[in-house]
Amino acid sequence: MPAKALDVLIIGAGFGGVAMAIRLKKAGVTNFTVLERAPDLGGVWWSNSYPGAACDVESRLYSFSFAQDFEWTKSHGDRDEIRAYFQHCVGKFGIGPYLRLGVQVAEARWDAGRALWVVETEAGEVLEARALVSACGLFNAPAIPDLPGVADFAGVSFHSSNWNHAFDFNGKRVAVIGTGCSAAQFVPVIARQVKSLAVFQRTAAWVSPKHEPMDQPFHRFLMRSALMRRLDRWRVYIQYERGYVVQTDPAIRAAREKGALAFLAAQVKDPVKRAKLTPTIAIGCKRNIRSSDFLSTLDQPHVDVVTDPIARIEADAIVTKDGHRHEIDALIYGTGFTTTKFLSTLKVVGAEGKTLDAVWGGAPEAYLGVTVAGFPNFFMIYGPNTNAPSSIIFMIECQTRYILQAVRKLVRGRARSLDVRLETQKLFNDEVQDELRGRAWTTGCRSYFMNAAGRIVTQWHKPSRHYWWRTLFFRDRDYRLEG
């Protein structure tokens, strides 16, 4: 039998789970536990250990507003520094005792009679909680294409999120499938070691340089001041908020495209490669890449950019549809994640015995990206349509503040359960989808923002400040409260 029910059970110890734990503890809600399937905290920053892994949002904004005392050495933190920041926050706010690592949740089921969530781990342990918070994130299930003959490949193969650190790249022939943000980070590193590198590209991405002002000693000296850190955070936030206009203004998009094409021309001298790397989609339609060395790496003589579709995989080669055999020793999938399949790593069963997957039917939606009708006392961090062009950490702080207001109602006995009204959820999502139709994301390309039917299920439809306002207050009238 499980012990006394928790007030809150959090699944995931990435930025979302850690933020929720800190928010609860600071509010005096201490009967909670955080379960993390990995052997250490960090979420995506634990699992993605590939060389060159770093954030493309500036560290001053890609960090908690309430924990700005960490001394970043780079404008864009790399994996090791971001993980050090996690440890800094855990120690500063004393949430270490609430973390349980290496625990994989198998199923969460709502018990309507007792108004509790019953959660079972893969090891068979059962826990109960008044409120269940999913902080599983968006990038937790790798997307690996099912290519003909892949089982016949005799070399080494792995996804970028499961990097093979034992593999020696020196003198090897390597293929990389995918040219997204992860590939843009690890390709320049491995290119310095390999004999040859074939990069298979489906769609050319827009690339802009990554500036690192914090690398300057004087800038780092200024950031030792709490006031300067606060001002710098506002500077970065306003910069990213202004950048949202690329989604709505064709003239701004055209200007950004002109600048990116100039950068491409400066970085890639080979005219054939430059033509392959010239995007044919509108800027902002897919996630843009920020890298100062990705394009120049692709321009190197021993690096090939392959745009012909893959026909099949053989024991020692990738064969494209034009019949060319690209002989390789290793294959790396830089193909991203199944971002539109929220909570795909566990089974969540709601009030009517239906699973969350069945209710969504491939089109995930939630009220404010946080609550789903028919799943009382269940909350999501980084849920559907909450990915913002600025910083997800800002969005996470909005969500945890909102969730805390709901948890307080449960903990203080004002309600046994609260369930968002279906009509409230529907009106909200109709608004989101209506506004998304006029954004650059819907200008004709396929991206990880879309489900199979072409519906944008990951992106917030306005600048992030609008989300701050929408989540500032928990409105009882949006929910059915049972007490």
pLDDT of residue 66: 96
Q: How much is the average pLDDT of 362-366?
A: 92
Q: Residue 94's pLDDT band (boundaries 50, 70, 90)?
A: very high
Q: Where in the chain is the domain with CATH 3.50.50.60?
A: 6-141+338-482, 150-333
pLDDT of residue 227: 87
pLDDT digits (tens, 9 = 90+) for 217-243: 767 777 778 888 899 899 999 998 988
Residue 336 near residue 180, CB atoms below 8 Å: yes
Q: How much is the average pLDDT of 29-35?
A: 98
- Select the CATH number that applies to the domain covering 150-333 from these four: 3.40.30.10, 3.50.50.60, 3.40.605.10, 3.40.50.10800: 3.50.50.60
- Select the CATH number that applies to the domain covering 6-141+338-482 from these four: 3.30.70.890, 3.40.50.300, 1.10.390.10, 3.50.50.60: 3.50.50.60
Q: Residue 137's pLDDT band (boundaries 50, 70, 90)?
A: confident
pLDDT digits (tens, 9 = 90+) for 435-450: 998 898 888 888 888 8
Percentage of residues in the chain having pLDDT higher than 90: 80
pLDDT of residue 215: 60
Q: How much is the average pLDDT of 18-23?
A: 98
Amino acid code (one letter) for 423:
E
Q: Residue 387's pLDDT band (boundaries 50, 70, 90)?
A: very high
| pLDDT above 60 for 1 | no
Predicted TM-score of the model (pTM): 0.94
| pLDDT above 80 for 272 | yes
